Amino acid sequence: LAVALAALLPVASARRSQDLHCGACRALVDELEWEIAQVDPRKTIQMGSFRINPDGSQSVVEVPYARSEAHLTELLERVCEKMKEYGEKVDPSTHRKSYVRIVSHDGTKMDLSGVKIDGDVASSLKFARLRLPCESIAEEHEDELIELLSHEADNVKDRLCSKRTDLCDHALHIPHDEL
């Protein structure tokens, strides 16, 4: 019995780690999409080259600020602080963990039945095993996040967390739209 349990521990640990990294990825994308939606769509930023054209003009264009590389880069630097606003929910049938927002953006009451709320969950999402899942995902996949979010891509969570990375290869179906 002890040998069987010892053989199962690495599997359970790997699943917990995958659930944690998948949850961090999906929460990261949720938070970025929410932050983008909060920006006035009329707000623009000038982008272009500082190079002078032969005719003496510069190639400068105005782009929507919300999805600009400058804004997305700024968001990526601070978005992982939002992980403290998440709790852990365990699916009763699969025993897989997912992470849900425990504090709504607008102050409305949320259904938190079955959600584990404590500092350990938030710390796990941000600081698991001295590795920072949210921050490492934001850093390692910064270019992909900016590419997907700057062009208003559909299903960014699934495209980044499941298709472009192996962070959620087990679960394209995990609900994480409680925002």
Whether the CB-CB separation of 113 and 126 falls below 8 Å is answered with no
**Mean pLDDT taken over the chain:** 78
In single-letter form, the type of residue at position 54 comes to P
Q: What is the pLDDT of residue 179?
A: 40
Q: What is the pLDDT of residue 133?
A: 83
Task: Find the distance separating the first CA and the last CA of the chain, reported in whole Å.
Answer: 44
Q: What is the pLDDT of residue 141?
A: 92
Task: Compute the distance between CA of residue 24 and CA of residue 143 in angstroms, rounded to an integer.
Answer: 17
Task: Compute the distance between CA of residue 35 and CA of residue 123 in angstroms, rounded to an integer.
Answer: 22
For the entire predicted model, the pTM comes to 0.74
Whether the CB-CB separation of 124 and 135 falls below 8 Å is answered with no
Q: What is the pLDDT of residue 8?
A: 41
Residue 81 — φ and ψ, nearest 5°? -65, -25
Q: What is the pLDDT of residue 178?
A: 42
> Which portions of the chain are predicted below pLDDT 50?
3-13, 127-131, 171-179
Q: What is the pLDDT of residue 113?
A: 74
